[in-house]
């Protein structure tokens, strides 16, 4: 935020729990108050969730992951799209995952939520493309962020994960951001309802 403001741009920060619909609505309202419109949105909040096979997964663990990783995308989109309909245009990118396209052991709540994000994205694109609103989803592979550490992935496990990516390394946040920037830009004006992997070849295996 400071970097944007220091370069003659304008940015604001608003802390919110996106698993709470009311706070998602307030986020959109705050953006409109600050900037006059909501032109581009990237719905990116997520947690790794409880690591257990289905029969051992706690009800609380399941519900928490679904709330944060799927419900939050719906809540944000609901209010983002309502504002974009007033404007007559807008672009939304939802962060799914490679695990929105395939399964992964001991991560059923995460996998289910990320599959749901893709379905939600496609449905919204069908419903609102005629209104000038584009909606797409991206599927990052394993990205080298603090989330991996929080998920309890040590160096040994990380090496095994790297081997799942034909490119031979984990992804970088900036590489994911480039795809988001393109999807929200006018260069992607005919692109909607899609799911785009940025995964170092993970899904090609």
> Can you point out the beta strands (E) in 5-80?
40-43
Looking at residue 162, its pLDDT comes to 93
Backbone angles phi, psi at 198, to 5 degrees: -130, 85
H or E segment to which residue 92 belongs: strand 90-95
Contact of 137 with 176, CB cutoff 8 Å = no
Contact of 205 with 146, CB cutoff 8 Å = no
Looking at residue 90, its pLDDT comes to 98
Contacts of 33 (CB under 8 A, 6+ apart): none
110 is catalytic: yes
Closest CA to 109 of 72, 67, 77, 75: 67
Contact of 39 with 91, CB cutoff 8 Å = yes
Rounded to whole angstroms, the Cα distance separating 27 from 16 reads: 8
Contacts of 59 (CB under 8 A, 6+ apart): none
Looking at residue 152, its pLDDT comes to 67
Q: Output the tens digit of pLDDT for each of the chain's 205 residues.
A: 677 777 778 899 999 999 999 999 999 999 999 999 999 999 999 999 999 999 999 999 999 999 999 999 999 999 999 999 999 999 999 999 999 999 999 999 999 999 999 999 999 999 999 999 999 999 999 998 877 767 667 778 888 899 999 999 999 999 999 999 999 999 999 999 999 999 999 999 8
Q: Helix, strand or coil for residue 58?
A: coil
From 110, 128, 196, 202, the catalytic residue? 110
Looking at residue 163, its pLDDT comes to 93
Q: Which residues pair with 40 in a beta bridge?
A: 91
Contact of 52 with 100, CB cutoff 8 Å = no
Rounded to whole angstroms, the Cα distance separating 71 from 23 reads: 13
H or E segment to which residue 77 belongs: helix 72-87
Looking at residue 1, its pLDDT comes to 67
Domains and CATH numbers, the chain: 66-88+96-205 (3.40.50.720)
Closest CA to 49 of 19, 20, 25: 19
């Amino acid at each position: 935020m400071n970097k944007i403001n220091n370069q003659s741009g304008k940015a604001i920060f608003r802390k919110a729990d996106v698993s709470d619909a009311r706070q998602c609505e307030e986020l959109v309202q705050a953006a409109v108050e600050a900037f006059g419109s909501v032109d581009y949105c990237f719905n990116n909040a997520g947690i790794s969730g409880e690591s257990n096979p289905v029969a051992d997964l706690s009800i609380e663990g399941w519900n928490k992951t679904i709330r944060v990783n799927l419900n939050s995308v719906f809540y944000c989109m609901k209010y983002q799209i309502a504002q974009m309909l007033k404007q007559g245009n807008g672009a939304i990118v939802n962060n799914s995952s490679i695990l929105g396209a395939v399964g992964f052991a001991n991560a059923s709540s995460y996998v289910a939520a990320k599959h749901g994000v893709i379905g939600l994205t496609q449905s919204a694109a069908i419903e609102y493309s005629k209104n000038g609103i584009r909606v797409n989803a991206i599927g990052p592979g394993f990205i080298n962020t603090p989330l991996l550490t929080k998920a309890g992935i040590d160096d040994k496990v990380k090496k095994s994960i790297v081997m799942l990516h034909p490119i031979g390394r984990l992804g970088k946040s900036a590489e994911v951001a480039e795809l988001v920037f393109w999807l929200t830009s006018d260069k992607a004006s005919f692109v909607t309802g899609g799911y785009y992997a940025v995964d170092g070849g993970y899904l090609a295996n």
